[in-house]
Structure 1
Amino acid sequence: MPEPFDTSSPPFDRLDAKQAKHLLSSLDVAYYRRGDVLIEKGEGNDALYIVIKGRVQEVNPDTKEVQAQYIKDDLFDARALLKGHAHHRYRVVEDTLCYVLPKAVFLELYGQNQSFADYFNTSFSKRKRMLEKAQQQQNLAEFILTQVDETNIQPIMTMPHGTSIREATLNLRRERQDCALVALEAKPHDIGIITRTNLLHALVEDGCTLASHIGEVATSPVISVEMGEYLFNVMILMTRDRVKRVRVTEDGETVGMLDMTQVLSLFSTHSHVLTLQINRAHSIEELAIAANNQHQLVANLTNNGIHTQFVMELISAVNEQIIEKAFRLTIPESFHNQCCLFVMGSEGRGEQVLKTDQDNGLILADDADWPDVQHYMERFSEVLSRLGYPPCPGNVMVNNPRWVKTLSEWMKEMVALSKISDERTLMDLAIIADSHAVAGNKALLEPVMEKLHATLKNNMLTLNTFVRPCLAFLVPLTLFGSLKADKEGLDVKKGGIFPLVHGVRTLALEKGLTETNTFERLDALVECKALDQETANNLSEALKLFVKVRLKQQLDSDASTGNQLDVTQLSRTERDLLRDCLGVVKKFKERLASHYQVRD
C-alpha cells in the first residue's frame, strides 16, 4: 500500500479542512505499465495525476523532444485540465503508481479556493516568491525561539557612582565600549546606565564639568532580562519601552548587555561581526580566521530564509573586503596608488556565494616603477590560497604575467580580444567583461572598461561569435535525462546558470551597458527596452533558484564548487520550479539565437 497522501505539501496545503477531506475521499490509486500513454497531445485528460513511484515522461511527439520527467510527488497535467487539451504526450517509462484525482473534483477545488487556483495560474516567478514567503515565515519562527545566551551578548562595565565624567569617558574609550552601568550611591541595589551620548549632553547642555560624577547623569532604572529569555521577547520589550539597550542578568547578577542593533543583527546572522573581524585584522593569520567564518555566515543566512539575491550581494561584499584587506597586508603601501587589482567572473558580477577560484588581474599605471611586481603578485596569490580561494584552473590570476599589464597595454588588449580570434580570446573576453575593481587605484579600471564597451557596442559581428558558448549546452529540461543515467546528476551551471548569465552579458555589451551584475543588467535591459519586464523577471527568478538549489546541496554536502544537482533530493515543488526555470532559459536561448542570427 502507498503511504497516506500528504496534504501538507503545496499546493494542497492551501485547502481548508473540508476541502482536504473531500480531496482525500476522491483520490484513487492506479497502476500503469511501461509504455502506457496517459495523455495524448491535443486530447483532454480526465484526471490530475500525482506520482507515487515510477517515472512518466512529457514528450513533444512532433520533435521527439522530452520536455520533462515526473517522479515521486510530481503532479501533471493541470494545464490540460484547465485548457481542455494537452500540449504534449505523457508516456510511462517505468512501471508507475499514481494517485488519480478526478477532473470534476480538481475543477471543483479550483473554483472554490482562490489560493489553490493561484498556484496553477501564476507564472513560476510569482509562485516562487509565494513559496519563499512561506519559508521565511517558518524561519522567522525559528528566530523567535532563539534564546539569549553567552554567544549573543556583549560585555558591559560597571563603574562606581563617584566616577568622574572624564575618567568614565577614558574608560569607555579604552575598553572600546559606548555604554556602562553605574552603581548608584543613593540606592545601592539600583543600577543606572550611561552612554557616550549621555556624557556629551551632560557637558554641553546640562552644565556639568569633567569632574562631575556619572551617578548624577546616569539613567535609571535599567531594563533587564534574564539569560535564556527569547530574543523576540527582548525585541518587543525594547520596542515597547523605547530603549536601545537592555542589561542581561543571571541569578540577579549582571553578565552582559544587548542593544537593539545587536538583536537585529542576530537575525541577519552576525554579518556585522565578520565585517569587524576583517577590518580589525592586522595579519594574514587574523584575516584567515575571519575568512574561515564566511561559510558559516552563508549557511546561517540561507537557513534563516534570507533572499538569495541579498545573500549573493552580502557575501560578494564580504569577499571584496577580504581580498582588499589581503592586498593591503601584502602589497607595500607605496605601490597602492600605482596599480588597480580587479576581480572577474562571479566575484566581478557580485554573484559569488561560496568561495570559488581566484579570477583576478592587475592594471599598472603607465608611469609605475615597480620592477619586482611579479614577486608580489605571486605572494598575493599564495595569500588568497591560504584564505580559502583556490587557484584558477585556467590560470586567470595575477601571478600569471599575462594578467598583469600597464593601462596602455590593457587598452590595446581590449581591442585585440574583441576580434575573438580563437576560443581562448572568446573566454578571456567573457570573463573580463565582468571586471570589478577591489583594491588600489580603482580609477585605473574605468578607461579599460570604457574601451571594451565602446568596441563591442552594436558590434553584431563579434557578438554573433561571442554569444555562441551559451547556445552550445543543451538545457536539461528533462531534469534527469542522460545526466541522471550516468549518475552525474543535473549540471545546473552548464544547463541553466551559464547560458542565462552569458546571454544577459551579451545583450548588455550590445547596448553598451556598464553594469556587471546580472540582476542590474536585466533592469538596465528593461530600461533600454531590450527586454520586456516579464522576461527579465522570469530570468531573474530563474537565476536565484539555480543559485539557491545549488547552494543548498553544496552546504549539505560541504562541496563548495559542485554544480551537479542530485534532483532526487529536491522536493516536488522545487522540481516544479526548476522545470519552469529551465523552460525560461530554453526560450531565452531561442530568442538569443534568433536575435544574433546563429544557426546550428
Structure 2
Amino acid sequence: MAVYVGELSFSESALWLSGGSAILASELGLPLAPSFDGAFFISAFYLYAYCRRNLPQDASMTIQINLNQPPFSFLEPEQLQWLTGHLDLVFYPAGSVILNEGDASPGLFIVYKGVVSETDQSGNKLYARYGNEDIFDVRAILESGCKHKYTATEETLCYLLKTKNFIHLLDKSKDFSVYFKTDLGTRQNLVEQRDSGAGVSEFILSRIDEESIRPPVYVTGQTSLSRVAAIMEEQKYDAVLVRTAKEIGIVTGTDLLRATLLGDKTKQTKVADIAQFNLIEVKYGDFLFNALLKMTQHHIERVVVTRDGDIVGMLELMDMLSVFSTHSHVIAMRIEQSKTLKELVIAAKRLEVLIDSLNQQGVKIVAIMELITTLNRRLMQRAFELIFPKRLQQSVCILVLGSEGRGEQILKTDQDNAIILKNEHDREAVLPLLQSFHQALLDFGYPPCPGGVMFINDSWINTVDGWQGKVGRWLNSASPEAMMNMAIFMDGEAICGDMELFRQVKRSWQKPELRSSVASAWFARPALKFETPLNFLGNIREDHGHIDIKKGGIFPLVHGVRALSFEFGVSDTNTLVRLDRLQELQVLAPEVVQGLKDALLFFLRIRLRQQLESGVDNPGLSQQLSLSAMRSVDRSLLRHALHRVKKFKQLLINHYHLESFG
C-alpha cells in the first residue's frame, strides 16, 4: 500500500519523511526509508498527528472500512481480496483541494475519516458532502473529467483505488459494473437483492411452473353433481373446470355441499347451474407471490393458470402455503371469519409482523404495498359490515384518503377518511355508527388525524350534492387550505357502501372548466413548499443528523404528480399509475417517469426500514431518516433520488410559471 499526503507519494513500501520518520513509520507499521526529502516534512507531520488521533493502534496497513456492503459486496471473494491489495491511503489537510472542475480523476475515492465537500469551482454552491465510507468521484472516471470541485473541509483520510484498477474490476464483475453504470432503479434492485441474500424466501423467487400447478380436470356443463363429486374423489381434486358451449367456469367441493345440503339442488342437477364463470387468472411463469396477492384480493383459494391465452392448470392455496412462511392469506381468512370487532383487532395486530417479515425476505416494496393495502381495506370493510346494519350499508359511501387512498401506505399512519351520504335525512342515524367505526380504527392502530380529516367531523360528511358544491368552492377559492383539502380528497378511494356515490362526486372535478391553468398552478404550488435537503447528505451536524423524508422527498414528488394528474384529467390515485398515465399522455418523458418511480420506491423502502428498526409506538408516523444509521451505499442512493425530486420541482416551476414562488 502506498501512503500519500495530498498528491505527494511516499513510495510503494515506505514513508519518506524527515524529523519524526521513525515514530511515524512505527505508528503505521511501515519500514523506515533510507533517505528523506525535507519538502515533505510539514505535510508528513500533519499526517503523523492525524493518524495518532484517528487510527486504531493496530490499524497498521489493514483496511479500516467495511467492504462487505454494496457495491463492493458484488465482487467475488478473490476479487475483493485483489481490491484490498490495491487500495492506497491518502491524507488531505483541512481546506486542501482534492479535485478541481475539469481534472482527470486519479481513481475512486472512499472516505475513511473526515468530510469532503462537492461544490462549484467558486465554492459558493454546495452539491453534497461525503462522510465515512462514502464514494466519489465515479463520474469523473467514466466521463473523463470532474464536473465539480472536491475539497477536504476538515483533515481527511481517503482510500484511493486507482483508475486502471477500478476499470479492471468493472471488467471482471458484471454486477459491480452495472451498479456504477446504470440508473437509480437498477442500483436499488441490486442492493435489495444483495441485502436479502440467502434470507430471501424461495417462495419469493419462485415462479409458476409445471411443479407448482395441477393439470386441469374438465367436465361438461351437462354433468350431474353426483358425477362431478365422483370425479373429484377419483382425481383427489377439490375443484374442476366446467366447459360449456360459451365459456369455462369452475366448481369446488364447497360449492357442491352448499348446493345440495344448504340449497335446493339435487344430485342430478347439472353442474353448469352452480358453476362460477368469473375465473381469476394468472400467467404461467409469473411469480407465486403475485398469485397469492390475487387470491387475497378476491377472497379465493385457487386461480387458473394460462399460457398464451390457454388454461394449462390450476394453482391451489394449500399448495402455496406449504412453502410460504408469512401466511398473509391466513391473516386474510382470519379477517374474513371474524364475527366481532375484538377478533378483527387481533388480525390487525398481525399486520406489522407480516410487514417486517416481508421486508426482511426482500419482497419488493410495490408488492408489500399492494398486499397490505388489500388487507387493510378488507379489515375496514369487515368492520363496516359488523357496525353498520344492512339497511344503511348502501346509504353511505366510506372513503379512505391520503396515502391509504393512493394505496401507498404500509405501516399505519393517522386516519384520513370521509363519508358520502345518499340522503341527508340519514345523517342522524349514521353519526353514532361513525363514532363506533372511528373507535374500531383506533383499536386497529390508526391514530386520529391531527388536522381533523375524519368522517366524525362535519367538514368531512356530505351528500353527493354537498360534496360537489364543496369541490367547486375549493377550486374557485385557490387558497392554500382549500387546495390541500382538494388534494386530500382527490386521492380518495371508495372502500365501503355504495361506490357509485363517489363516482358521481369524482366526475365533478374532472370537468375541464374547473381545471383552468390558474387553478392548476395554485394546486401545484405546495410541491415547492419544502426545500430539497441535498446539502445535508453526509453532514449529520447541519440538521442533527436527520432529514424529514416526507417533506424533503415524498410529498413534493407525490403532490407534483397529483397536480399534473389533476390538470390533465387523470382519474387514477396511485402515484406510480398516475406516472404511467402522464407518460401515455406525453406530459412526462419516459426517463423522467422512470426516475421518479425509482426515487419514490427508494424513499418508501428506506423509510420503512428505519421505521421498523425504531422500536417506537406507531412507527408509521415517523418521517425522520437518520443519516448516521444509513450505510454509505444508501446515502448515495438517497442523494441520487433527492436529485431527481429537485429536477422534478424545477420542471413544475417551468410548467406552471412558478418562478417567483420557487
TM over 0.5: same fold?
A: yes
Q: 1:456, 1:512 within 8 Å by CA — same for their partners in 2?
A: no
Change (3 A) 1:283 1:115: closer
Residue 298 of structure 1 aligns with which residue?
A: 355
2:511 paired residue among 454, 463, 468: 454
Give the % identical residues. 36
Corresponding residue for residue 320 of structure 2 = 264
Q: TM-score, normalised by structure 1?
A: 0.78
SS at match of 1:286: helix
Match of 2:187 in 1: 127
SS where residue 363 of structure 2 aligns?
A: coil
- Assess if the C-alpha contact under 8 Å between 1:47 and 1:100 holds in 2: yes
Q: Deviations over 1:347-398 (max 9, x none)?
A: 0000010111111111111465342332222232122112211110000001
Q: Residue 594 of structure 1 corresponds to which residue in structure 2?
A: 654
Matched, 1:326 2:364: no
Q: Say if 1:457 and 1:511, in contact at 8 Å, map to a contact too.
A: no
The equivalent position to 2:576 in structure 1, one of 509, 519, 541, is 519
Judged with a 3 Å threshold, the aligned counterparts in structure 2 of structure 1 residues 488 and 130 are, in CA distance, closer, same or farther, namely closer
The structure-2 alpha-carbon separation of the partners of 1:275 and 1:414, relative to structure 1 and needing over 3 Å to count, comes to same
Alpha carbons of structure 1 residues 142 and 446: separation in structure 2 relative to 1, 3 Å: closer
Asked if structure 2 preserves the Cα contact closer than 8 Å seen for 1:457 and 1:509, the reply is: no
Write the distance in 1 (CA, Å) between the matches of 2:489 and 2:580.
21
The match for 2:139 is: 79
Matched, 1:403 2:460: yes
Which residue among 411, 421, 428 is the counterpart of 1:354? 411
Q: What's the counterpart of residue 99 of structure 1?
A: 159
| Residues 1:562 and 2:619 aligned together | no
Change in Cα spacing, 1:267 to 1:375, as seen in structure 2 (3 Å) is: same
Q: Aligned with 1:478: secondary structure? A: helix
CA spacing shift, 1:456–1:9, aligned 2, 3 Å: farther
Q: Which residue of 1 aligns with 2:91?
A: 31
1:345 maps to what in 2?
A: 402
The equivalent of 1:139 in structure 2 is 199
Structure 1 unaligned segments of length 5 or more: list them.
145-165, 170-176, 180-194, 204-208, 211-243, 245-258
Alpha carbons of structure 1 residues 382 and 112: separation in structure 2 relative to 1, 3 Å? closer
Give yes or no for the alignment of 1:428 onto 2:488: no
Cα distance in 2 for residues equivalent to 1:377 and 1:141 = 41
1:289-308: CA deviation from partner (whole Å, max 9, x where unpaired):
11111111111111111100
- Give the Cα separation in 2 of the matches to 1:423 and 1:290: 39
Offset at residue 486 of structure 1 (A)? 4.0
Take 1:445 and 1:28, find their aligned partners in 2: how far apart are those partners?
65
Give the deviation of 1:26 after TM superposition. Answer: 2.0
Q: Give a deviation string over 1:534-566, Cα, whole Å, max 9, x none.
A: 211111111111011011111111322111101
Aligned mates of 1:261, 1:374 — CA distance in 2: 40
1:110 to 170, 176, 181: 170
Residues 57 and 66 in structure 1, CA contact (< 8 A), matched pair in contact too: yes
Deviates more, 1:15-24 or 1:578-587: 15-24
Counterpart AA for 2:150: Y
Matched, 1:56 2:116: yes
In 2, Cα distance between the equivalents of 1:281 and 1:581?
42
18-27 or 92-101: bigger deviation: 18-27
Q: Give distance in 1, aligned partners of 2:174 and 2:202.
A: 29
From 336, 343, 355, the equivalent of 1:279 is 336
Query: One-letter code of the match for 2:636?
Result: D
2:373 to 302, 316, 321: 316
Q: Which amino acid aligns with 2:599?
A: A
C-alpha separation between the residues in 2 aligned to 1:63 and 1:468?
31
CA RMSD of aligned residues (A): 3.1
Q: Does 1:289 align with 2:346?
A: yes
Q: Secondary structure at the match of 1:94?
A: coil
- AA paired with 2:139? R
| C-alpha separation in 2, matches of 1:310 and 1:503 | 24
CA distance in 1, matches of 2:464, 2:376: 25
Deviations 1:488-537 (A, max 9, x none): 61111111100110011111111101100001101111111111222111
Unaligned stretches of 5+ in structure 2?
1-58, 205-225, 230-236, 240-251, 261-265, 268-300, 302-314
Query: Following TM superposition, by how much is the alpha carbon of 1:476 offset from its aligned partner in structure 2, in angstroms?
Result: 1.1
Closer/same/farther in 2, CA of residues 73 and 141 from structure 1, 3 Å limit: farther
How far residue 13 of structure 1 moved from its aligned partner, in angstroms, is 3.3
C-alpha distance 481-455 of structure 1, shift in aligned 2 (>3 A): farther
The structure-2 alpha-carbon separation of the partners of 1:585 and 1:53, relative to structure 1 and needing over 3 Å to count, comes to same
Q: 1:564 to 1:260 in 2, by over 3 A?
A: same
Q: 1:35 to 1:62 in 2, by over 3 A?
A: closer
One of 50, 68, 75 as aligned partner of 1:8: 68
Deviation at 1:420, TM superposition (A): 3.5
Cα 1:537–1:401 change in 2 (3 A) is: same
- The corresponding residue for 1:248 is none
2:516 is equivalent to residue 469 of structure 1: no
Equivalent position amino acid for 2:189 in 1: R
Note if contact 2:201-2:361 (Cα within 8 Å) is conserved in structure 1: no
The number of residue pairs the alignment matches comes to 505
Q: Does 1:394 align with 2:451?
A: yes
Paired with 2:446 and 2:342, the residues of 1 have a C-alpha distance of: 15
User: How far does residue 126 in structure 1 lie from its aligned partner after superposition?
Assistant: 1.8
Separation in structure 1 between the aligned mates of residue 431 and residue 539 of structure 2, nearest angstrom: 45
Structure 1 residues 16, 44: CA separation in 2 closer, same or farther (over 3 Å shift)? same
Structure 1 residue 365 and structure 2 residue 365: aligned?
no
Equivalent residue runs for 1:434-513 within 5 Å: 434-454=491-511, 458-480=515-537, 484-487=541-544, 489-513=546-570
What's the offset of the Cα at 1:57? Answer: 1.7
Q: 1:16 to 1:568 in 2, by over 3 A?
A: same
Distance 1:388 1:121 in 2: 43
Distance 1:21 1:521, change over 3 A: same
Q: State whether residues 39 and 91 of structure 1, in contact with CA within 8 Å, keep that contact through their aligned partners in structure 2.
A: yes
Q: Is 2:609 the counterpart of 1:549?
A: no
Equivalents in 2 of 1:263, 1:487: separation in Å?
Answer: 51
Could you tell me how far apart the structure 1 residues matched to 2:449 and 2:407 are? 18
Q: Secondary structure at the match of 1:565?
A: strand
Q: 1:456, 1:463 within 8 Å by CA — same for their partners in 2?
A: no
Amino acid at match of 2:131: I
- Whether the aligned pair in 1 keeps the contact of 2:113 and 2:132 (CA below 8 Å) is yes
User: What residue number does 2:304 align with?
Assistant: none
Letter in 1 for 2:126: V
Mapping for residues 575-594 of structure 1, pairs under 5 Å: 575-594=635-654
> In the TM superposition, what whole-angstrom CA distance separates every residue of 1:228-248 from its partner, at most 9, and x where no partner exists?
xxxxxxxxxxxxxxxx9xxxx
Distance in 1 between residues matched to 2:496 and 2:624, nearest whole Å: 33
Q: CA–CA distance in 2 between the matches of 1:395 and 1:451?
A: 24
CA contact (8 A) 1:341 1:362 kept: yes
Is the Cα contact below 8 Å between 1:44 and 1:86 reproduced in 2? yes
Q: Which amino acid aligns with 1:264?
A: M
